[in-house]
Chains A and B, each alone.
Chain A
Amino acid sequence: MERVLLVRYTEIHLKGLNRPFFEQKLIDNIKRALYGIKANVEREQGRIYIIGISDDVFDEAIERLKRVFGIHSISPAYAVDKDWDTVVATALSLIEKQVALRENLTFKVFARRSDKHYFMNSDGINRELGHLVLERFPSVRVDIHEPQIKLSVEIRDKAYIYAEEIPCSKGMPVGSSGKATLLISGGIDSPVAGYFMAKRGIVLSAVHFFSFPYTSDRARDKVVELTRLLSSYAGNIKLFLVPFTEIQEAIYENCPSKETTVIMRRLMMKISEMIAISEGSRALITGEALGQVASQTLESICATDDAVRIPVLRPLIGFDKDDIMDWARRIGTYETSILPYEDCCTVFVPKHPVTKPVLEDIRASEASFDFSDMIDRAIEKTEALSVKYSDPKAI
């Protein structure tokens, strides 16, 4: 009796002629997620079957697959001979385990027969197997509408029997939607924004701006760690660390204080766009949520978007802060994000920032100083790291 993982995916079905491309991406990502675990990944009739996983790493494999975007759910199943006695014995043993776990168990049998030559049809399997379960376990009842467990039997090349369905991350396979570049700050929001875009199939790269000595080496390490945590969902991420001190000081000395934040963000966007284009990214991603702080008003967003030509994706734009924090906890970045070394560059944060910047004024202030040499120098001194998630348990 062999244990296999049956992987379901949903949205890929919608993709018409592109379907094989999406399916292949998903399979590649599954193989990457299972790196180091011996397994065969096979595609068949709208499902993916993972076979040959040894028992000691079976749960580990499930944990890793939960982080793969594009998977709707997985079921650990027994793959057995189609011989009826074997099917019955396997199904009864599954029910027996569930009976031991809870009282007043309700169930229904859900059979599917792809092998149309099988001697019994789906309806027949449902009735016959249901009857045998009731006979063997008198305490168990049938509930067609809301069963606690769905005893599924699929007759294909073999019989696949399972009772559990583990929900996964859903979304689209990473790599199926192109590349985009995330502006990552070290705060709570940007890793969540990156998560959501990766979930829609985006391959991420990331840009971080640091201002030593106003920000510390630890703040930099923190961003590397957040990127590493994000890469457990998004796959490898190329992280660009841009030295920003010189530009920040120049903004302070040459621009009106209330506009410094907007101008700073515009210049960050410009640099990010240059890096993004060189990386083949088609968009920037930020963790902004409308109205959260002075620089995230609609006027400020218009003023920053004006600095770049490529689209700026803001997946958190309609989120409340609480919800973003909940997501950060769910994806495991929150504890790192709240480490207190974020920034000591508070000297550069104006006491009274403009909340409704006038675009013409901002452009004029920015044009009063030629930042181009400094931008070139910053890009020249940018450090690129390839951040890879290595599962601590895999080491």
Chain B
Amino acid sequence: MIYFDNSATTRVYKAAADIAVEYMLNLYHNPAAAYSPAVSVERAVSLSRQRIASYMKMDSSELIFTSGGTESNNIALSGALGARRDKCRIITTAVEHPSVYEPFLAYKAKGYDVVIIGVDSTGRIDEDAFIAALDANTGFVSIMHVNNEVGSVNDISRLYRAVKQRAPRAIFHSDGVQAFVKMPSVNCDMYSFSGHKLYAPKGVGGLFIKRGTPFVGGQLGGGQENNLRSGTTNVPSIMALDTSLEAYMKSHSENTASMLSVKTRLYNNLSSIKDAILNGPSIEESVPYILNMSFLGVRGEVLLNSLSEKGIIVSTGSACAARHRGKNRILTAMGIRDDRQDGAIRFSFSPENTVWEADIAAQAIEDSLKMLRRFRRR
């Protein structure tokens, strides 16, 4: 099987799975308990927290573990707004992941002044419009670091400086689920990440909250995670997360180079196919692990099914909803429509992928297209 859907989820590193098993079978004690085995578990978690925080150049006290990206994104918004009384302006982009976008819509329904900023044709935020929208009443900003569908990158640190100049009271959050450790760290008030996108198990992730950021925790109970997110510490998953991140970081530059070579090879192979169009930024400007292309004249879903039959796993840019032909919000915001939107496919890579796989996949796509393009609605 050729797995090109690593932005959906990844295979857990063996070493990470092993350490999780160790913490389930042997070192299973509750780190909040008083006896010495529990204390050593607590120390291990604390070391992991330090190491993971260091990838963000932040202190371990500024990282809380969560169940993953969705929870981190949700509580970033609710925690920041919970610390304020007024219904302030809150700003995000048109291409955020649903775990950011949907909570914004929910706050809009509650009467908050929600501003959604558009993007350019490559999926990057329209910076001029964003800066124009910042005012003294702005309380919260959320801009994704790397777009999950087309791999465009926002310059979070620069946007952060702009926010601090124009709206000093605003809290700046960035969804880093598709970026954390794979891209250079950025400066902002809050930053979300997810374990299973990074070769760790599902159900673990984190939220960085810069010291001094007003934040009200939501989940009440035993007071874990600095009293901001109660719940028994998910020790096996946290230890696995630490292990997978450490392994990834050890070969960071090789990993980046390897994924870039696979992506470039696949793109070069595919770009010779008739009516194959790159979506998002150029190969050099987008992240090395996401490639989004449209193949005109074929529904992405159909091509996906055809490829999966050949053992090649990809994802569609657009969710196929035959009866209410669901538009893809991200591609629509980028000005990509109709046939080009319907035929979009996302390829996303891990360091385990090879150039050989890129060649096999490209050939398979060419074959499938030859077969499928015979049929057009008439």
A340 touching B377, Cβ below 8 Å: no
Q: List the 10 closest pairs (A to B, CB-CB), nearest first.
A: A213-B305, A340-B321, A213-B306, A344-B301, A347-B375, A257-B378, A342-B322, A347-B377, A344-B299, A344-B302
State which of A270-278, A303-311, A348-356, A377-385 sits at the interface with chain B.
Answer: A348-356
Contact yes or no, B309 A346, CB < 8 A:
no
**Other-chain contact of A348, B301, B319, B375 (Cβ < 8 Å):** B375
> How distant is the Cα of A213 from the Cα of B378 in the complex, in angstroms?
19
Q: Does A389 contact B (CB under 8 A)?
A: no
A164 interface hit (Cβ, 8 Å): no
A341 at the interface (CB under 8 A from B): yes
Query: Which of B299, B303, B319 sits near A346, CB closer than 8 Å?
Result: B299
> Does any Cβ of A come within 8 Å of B250's Cβ?
no
11 A-B pairs with CB atoms under 8 Å apart are A213-B303, A213-B304, A213-B372, A253-B374, A341-B322, A342-B323, A345-B302, A347-B299, A348-B375, A348-B377, A351-B377
Contact of A212 among B305, B326, B368, B378 (CB under 8 A): B305
Beyond A340-B323, A344-B320, 12 additional contacts (C-beta under 8 Å) are A213-B303, A213-B305, A213-B309, A215-B305, A340-B320, A341-B320, A342-B323, A344-B302, A344-B305, A346-B377, A348-B375, A348-B377
Interchain pairs with CB closer than 8 A, number: 58
> A349 CA to B326 CA in the complex, in Å?
18
Inter-chain contacts of B304 with A (CB < 8 A)? 213
Within 8 A of A (CB), among B300-319: 301-306, 308-309, 319
- Whether a CB of chain A sits under 8 angstroms from the CB of B376 is yes
Q: Does A84 contact B (CB under 8 A)?
A: no
A214 within 8 A of B: yes
Question: Is residue B85 contacting chain A, with contact meaning CB distance below 8 A?
Answer: no
The reply on A236 being an interface residue by CB < 8 A is no
Query: Which residues does chain B contribute within 8 Å of A345, judged by CB atoms?
Result: 302
Q: Which residues of A contact B309 (CB under 8 A)?
A: 212-213
Within 8 A of A (CB), among B89-116: none
In contact, A340 and B375 (Cβ under 8 angstroms)? no
Bound CA span A346–B323, Å: 10
Q: Is A391 an interface residue (CB 8 A)?
A: no
Binary A-proximity of B354-375 (CB < 8 A = 1, otherwise 0): 0000000000000010001011
A320-358, CB < 8 A from B: 338, 340-351
Query: What is the CB-to-nearest-CB distance from A342 to chain B, in angstroms, rounded to a whole number?
Result: 5
The A193-222 residues at the B interface (CB cut-off 8 A) are: 212-217
CB distance from B305 to the nearest CB of A (A): 3
B274 at the interface (CB under 8 A from A): no
A349–B319 CB distance below 8 A: no
B322 touches A343 (CB 8 A): yes
Nearest A residue to B306, CB-CB: A213
Contact check: which of B306, B319, B324, B375 meets A249 at CB < 8 Å? B375
A341–B304 CA distance with the chains assembled, in angstroms: 13
CA distance A249 to B377 in the complex (A): 12
Measured CA separation A340–B306 after assembly (Å)? 19
B315 CB to closest chain A CB (Å) equals 13
Residues of chain A within 8 A (CB-CB) of B324 are 340
**B326 CB contact (under 8 Å) in A213, A340, A350:** A340
Q: How far is the CA of A338 from the CA of B321 in the complex (A)?
A: 10
Chain B hits for A350, CB < 8 A: 377-378
Residue of chain B at shortest CB distance from A214: B302
Q: Which residue of B lies closest to A219 (CB)?
A: B322
Determine the distance from Cα of A72 to Cα of B280 in the docked complex, in whole angstroms. Answer: 63
Inter-chain contacts of B321 with A (CB < 8 A)? 340
Chain A residue nearest to B376 in the complex (CB) = A347
CA gap between A253 and B372 in the complex, in Å: 13
